[in-house]
Structure 1
Amino acid sequence: MTKGTPVNGLNKGIEKVEVSIRWDPSPLGTPATDLDLIAATYDTDDPYGEPVYVVDFESRSPDGTIALNRDSRTGQGLGFDEVMVLELNRLAESYGRVVVGVVIQQREVRKTFGDIEGPGMRLREGYDELATSDFSEVRDSTAATVCEFQRDTDGQWEFKRGVRGFDTDPTAFPSLMGAGPV
């Protein structure tokens, strides 16, 4: 992560964030590149166990608090190609942790973040930019966690910075992404 805003005791906690990713389309005549945002929620009593539910590929959480609003399969378009909104302030108290990641769909040719042209991630709360990344720190990975949110002792959501890479596929990634802290 290259930028961030500290969260301190005077803050009311993170309430609603937007995570966006972008990438350039593959060159003409080569297989399309498809990056996907994924969010996983974890039970307060088991914050590093299996996710309670996962939001991915044009889906939303059962309660509507996490939604993938835009999904691109090629990276074509202006600006950020995929956008996910997390309304943490509306999540039930039974959820104590949310991890957000990005995975590269593996098709004809295996691709890592180093193979992707113009990748980027932006995390915002309102107009405040909390973090950005160009995935250079995980260039040899096929998936990465990009941020984590945890409830503090007062029940407020705190943002945890960090990009952590994985060498896995879209099917296995949701089970791996929350296994440890970002």
Structure 2
Amino acid sequence: MISLAKGQKIDLTKTNPGLTKIMVGLGWDTNKYDGGNEFDLDAVAFLVNSEGKATGDGAFIFYNNKQDPSGSIVLSGDNRTGEGEGDDETVKINLAGVPAEVQKIAICINIHEADTRNQNFGQVSNAFARVVNEDNGEEILRYDLGEDYSIETGLVVAEIYRHNGEWKFSAVGSGFQGGLAALAATYGLNAG
């Protein structure tokens, strides 16, 4: 298993021949928080074309649209607390079935209703992403995001993208303010 730092890129399929189905597990813990509201983080994925724009309405995968039209990218259920060990939410990707126009899959975490609940990633710790070979359960890589966030309400955790016919993983770790709408706008979608 390889541990990545922010900004690193790694081959997925080239170094793991025969890899076709992966699970991206996302996890986090919330610090003690006295605002009286639930702290609900959501995994979100955007399917992006070569111009960096979403490939259509079905290209926004979130709790109300849990899979893309091809069925090759599927989001797990909505974990509303983040409690317990291991993955809090997962995105399963059948790399062989991803439509050709999808050049990149951006994996994000968003804090649900962050503005109205006065929450941000400064109150989140131990956030990570890991990639598992779904066929044998082997963990291929892990990316711990660290604690260098404060006012952000959304994170682009990683991008899984095509490069010369292979799939690669990029540890992005960039934070956003403005919630889901800001994340969606980055990929050319209007989530309002």
- TM-score relative to the length of structure 2: 0.75
Secondary structure of 2:148's counterpart equals helix
Letter in 1 for 2:117: V
The residue identity in structure 2 corresponding to 1:114 is G
| Partner of residue 61, structure 1 | 68
Instruction: Map 1:137-176 to 2 at 5 A.
Output: 137-153=148-164, 155-176=165-186
Alignment of 1:5-44 (within 5 A): 6-7=10-11, 11=15, 12=17, 15-24=20-29, 30-44=36-50
The corresponding residue for 1:100 is 107
- Contact 2:42/2:78, CA 8 A, preserved across alignment: yes
What secondary structure sits across from 1:172 in the alignment?
Answer: helix
1:49 corresponds in structure 2 to 53
Change (3 A) 1:177 1:144: farther
> The residue matched to 2:181 in structure 1 has which SS?
coil
Distance verdict in 2 for CA 1:165–1:98, change over 3 Å: same
Letter in 2 for 1:84: V
- Offset of 1:178 from its aligned partner? 7.8
SS state at 1:170 partner: helix
Structure 1 spans left out of the alignment, 5+ residues? none
Q: Which of 133-142 and 59-68 deviates more? A: 133-142
Backbone CA RMSD of aligned residues = 2.9
- Is the deviation greater in 80-89 or in 70-79? 70-79
* Count of equivalent residues: 174
Kindly state the Cα deviation for residue 77 of structure 1 after the two structures are TM-superposed: 4.4
Question: Which runs of 5 or more structure 2 residues have no equivalent in the other structure?
Answer: none
Change (3 A) 1:10 1:40: closer
CA distance in 1, matches of 2:126, 2:12: 30
> Quick check: 1:122–1:129 contact (8 Å CA) kept in 2?
no
Task: Classify 1:171/1:16 alpha carbon distance in 2 versus 1 (closer, same or farther; 3 Å).
Answer: same
Q: CA deviation at 1:101?
A: 0.6
Q: CA deviation at 1:74?
A: 2.2
Is contact 2:74-2:93 (8 Å) kept? yes
Return the TM-score normalized by structure 1.
0.79
